[in-house]
Amino acid sequence: MEGKMMDYRQLGRSALKVSSLCLGTMNFGPRTSEAESFAILGDALEAGINFIDTANQYGGHLGVGTTETLVGKWLAQDPSRRDKIVLATKVHEPMSDQINDRGLSARHIQMACDASLKRLGVDHIDLYQMHHIDRTAPPEEIWQAMDRLISQGKITYVGSSNFPGWKIAQMNERAGQRHGLGLVCEQSFYNLIERRAELEVLPACQAYGLGLITWSPLAGGLLASTGQETAGRRQSQSVRAAALARSDQLARYGELCRSIGETPTAVALAWLLHQPGVTSTIIGPGSQAQLSSVLHVPGLRLGEDFLAAIDAIFPAIGPAPEAYAW
């Protein structure tokens, strides 16, 4: 069931092409050392992953901005790397105790973008994503700020993350009124266990031409191969409790994966790439070995019978509104 090592998909209705595996960097710095992070970044680039996702808030106990700074140091080691990658970061989360140093006000968007550019050591960000919705920020204010950044050459595309379907629709309707491109992608919580995105988010993305980027594709480690980790979320009390509650379901899933000679991790990632509207799935390897173990995923082809067997274990909710209305 193995095929080519990497494939590339258009990011929504834009002409930009990104790898179907997106390298997530949230653990770089607080959990993964700088040296190991650099090695993972290098291996990913060599393997054909051209999509790197970060956020201004990432840094954990080391402090906000730490991960962007680390990515910037890696880029500075070899300036040719910058043109080989699609660099994505995010804005919204609190960056300090200052009342205006958060959210999606035009002021914060401008200041946060400038700060991210400095930490990353680049002159532009390819994809600037709103990390969450800000119910206090009018769409017109947000688009005014984003359009200004685009005109300044500081960002190229705008995306959303953790947006509900109605907000995706609202933002793109407002963008159309301003004769703008609008959102080109949504980064959403979506995996075999958490399928609520299929109700409203995925249909909204498809209707407005957004590519879906999935985060937490392994459900915090529940869908990952077992016996390979000694630390991290997979060993947390909450994950262990969830695994116990779903033990029968996960056992059936593991048996199904073994029937084709694949790991639960690889199948969970490949399943997402088989879903209509999904452009890329974020992987967050903590080591070079973890990265290497999933590089074949874009080449996995899951047959209709196998996909139906997965649905029998992890049932789909169904389309909206039919799933909850008569």
Pairing type for strands 8-10 and 17-19 reads antiparallel
What's the pLDDT at 235? 60
Has 128 been annotated as catalytic? no
For every residue of 37-101, DSSP letters joined together read HHHHHHHHHHTT--EEE--TT--GGG-TTHHHHHHHHHHHH-GGGGGGSEEEEEE-S--SSSTTS
Give the start-to-end residue ranges of the domains of the chain: 8-313
Distance, in Å, from the CA atom of 213 to the CA atom of 205, rounded to the nearest integer, reads 11
Q: Do 234 and 221 form a contact (C-beta atoms < 8 A)?
A: yes
**Which residue from 21, 35, 6 is spatially nearest to 287, judged by alpha carbons?**
35
| C-alpha dihedral (207, 197, 186, 231), degrees to nearest 10 | -160
Supply φ then ψ for residue 20, to 5 degrees: -70, -15
Q: Do 68 and 125 form a contact (C-beta atoms < 8 A)?
A: no
What's the pLDDT at 236? 77
3-state secondary structure of 300: coil
**Which residue from 105, 77, 74 is spatially nearest to 91, judged by alpha carbons?**
105
**Which residue from 118, 144, 119, 146 is spatially nearest to 130, judged by alpha carbons?**
146
CATH number of the domain at 8-313, please?
A: 3.20.20.100
Structure tokens at 174: 């407002």
What's the pLDDT at 246? 94
Distance, in Å, from the CA atom of 156 to the CA atom of 83, rounded to the nearest integer, reads 14
Pairing type for strands 21-24 and 51-53 reads parallel
Q: What is the residue type of 280?
A: S
- Quickly count: other Cβ atoms within 10 Å of residue 134's Cβ: 19
**Which residue from 154, 201, 208, 213 is spatially nearest to 180, judged by alpha carbons?**
208
Catalytic residue, chosen from 58, 128, 157, 208, is: 58
**In order along the chain (326 residues), what is the average pLDDT of each group of 10 residues?**
72 98 98 98 98 98 98 98 98 98 98 98 98 98 98 98 98 98 98 97 98 97 65 68 94 97 97 97 96 97 98 94 91
Cis peptide leading into 321, omega within 30 of 0?
yes
pTM: 0.94
What's the pLDDT at 226? 52
- The H or E element containing residue 156 is strand 155-161
**Which residue from 42, 97, 44 is spatially nearest to 73, judged by alpha carbons?**
42
Q: Do 90 and 129 form a contact (C-beta atoms < 8 A)?
A: yes
Distance, in Å, from the CA atom of 285 to the CA atom of 41, rounded to the nearest integer, reads 10
What's the pLDDT at 81? 98
Structure tokens at 1: 């069931």
SS3 content of the chain, % helix, strand, coil (to 5): 45, 15, 40
What's the pLDDT at 239? 87
Q: Which residues of 272-306 are buried (b: 16+ CB within 10 A; e: fewer)?
A: bbebebbbbbbbbbbeeebbebbbbbbebebeeeb
How buried is residue 326: exposed, middle or buried, by Cβ count under 10 Å (0-12/13-18/19+)? exposed
